[in-house]
Amino acid sequence: NERGRANHKASSIEMQGLHKRFGRDTVALDGVDLDIRAGEFFTLLGPSGCGKTTLLRILAGLEEPDAGSLVVGGKNITETPPHQRSVNTVFQSYALFPHLSVRENLAFGLKMRGMPAAERHTKVDEIADFIKLGDLVDRHVDQLSGGQRQRIALARALICEPDVLLLDEPLSALDAGLRSQLQVELLRVQKRLGMTFVFVTHDQQEAMVMSDRIAVLNGGTIQQVGAPREVYERPVNAFVARFMGHDNLYTISARKSDRLITALGELTAEDAGNGELLLIRPETLDLLPGAVEGPNHLTATVAERLYRGSHAEFRLAIGNTTLQATVNNRGRHLPEVGETVTVAVAPEDLVTLHE
């Protein structure tokens, strides 16, 4: 039953020059400018302490910025108190009332808004149906599993139909299997509702699976904003490259040239220098058995092989440099340690960037 949901209005979010300091020394946000589109699944991604939660709390109105402005759905809400914002939050801890039933938990917000009982009842049935909780509504929260509780927390945040839903690591307390199942569910719900979701995580895989776009944060500043593929395949700096995945990152001794690959043998493994860097994602490399002459081919020796079922990871020695390569296993010869192989590099897969 999706009555009344199709016409839900989503809101865009514009943040400008947001600064937040805690005490004298901690700069949590150091000038954040960010535009989130209406109906977007947008993720704030970054290591612990980078400012993700602070940014989310500012959106929720739970924290006041020292400077900057926040516009949601065309309205400046920088000074608007939390309960007057059409923004709802799902936290990592479920924050449900343990002594109440699922139905009472779901209806709580509606009751606070003065919605009559009959209408509340219908609304709860509707959302429970929508998020496939039908059988659970009359149970007590303390009879539910972690995954079920997290779904109820999500349903409770959705039931008031906010223009924006904020999610602070809502899946991080769940085990891997349940987590990936709920990732898919959450994504489906978001697409069906067309609501703007701002999702916080420090998990790169989760961010890439879920998001329309990702903002990578570090030290209170935004490093890059882009679609998952852009951020992973075309990182704008060394921080994003390292944070998003296994990498081959080299300092380039010569200036970038069209013949980067012939120069590969002269590269030194990443060091503290702040020259130009070359990034080669391990999965973009192709391995051929033996020494094969050819353009963009490098001869290497297998130094290490990690078989991982779906794929295998290799550490390859090329002169004094090591190179990581990831290949899928299907129907492929997997070279042994000590074997000579040829690494085929596609020039378009090389990314040059700065520290």
* Residue ranges that bind ligand ATP, judged by CB under 6 A: 22, 26, 28, 46, 48-54, 202
Q: Residue 181: CB partners within 8 Å, gap ≥ 6?
A: 147
* Least separation in angstroms between CB 22 and ligand ATP: 3
Please give the radius of gyration of the chain, using alpha carbons only, rounded to the nearest integer.
25
* Least separation in angstroms between CB 63 and ligand ATP: 8
Chain Cα centroid distance, residue 253: 33
* Least separation in angstroms between CB 157 and ligand ATP: 19
* Least separation in angstroms between CB 160 and ligand ATP: 25
Residue with tokens 């994003």: 240
* Least separation in angstroms between CB 101 and ligand ATP: 31
- 169/247 with CB nearer ligand ATP: 169
In the complex, which residue's CB is closest to ligand ATP?
A: 53
CA dist 135 and 355 (Å) reads 53
Strands 164-168 and 321-328: unpaired
* Least separation in angstroms between CB 320 and ligand ATP: 38
| DSSP codes, 215-252 | EEEETTEEEEEE-HHHHHHS-SBHHHHHHHS--EEEE-
* Least separation in angstroms between CB 220 and ligand ATP: 7
Which helix (H) or strand (E) segment holds residue 57: the answer is: helix 52-60
* Least separation in angstroms between CB 171 and ligand ATP: 14
Chain Cα centroid distance, residue 191: 17
HSE-up of 264 (CA within 13 Å, CB side)? Answer: 23
- 49/82 with CB nearer ligand ATP: 49
- 48/310 with CB nearer ligand ATP: 48
What proportions of the chain, in percent to the nearest 5, are helix, strand and coil? 30, 30, 40
- 22/307 with CB nearer ligand ATP: 22
Coil, strand, or helix at residue 61? coil
**5, amino acid identity:** R
- 21/297 with CB nearer ligand ATP: 21
Kindly report the length of the chain: 355
Q: b/e per residue, 20-39, with b = 16+ CB within 10 A?
A: bbeeeeebbbeebebebebb
- 22/97 with CB nearer ligand ATP: 22
- 4/17 with CB nearer ligand ATP: 17
CB 329 within 8 A of CB 310: yes
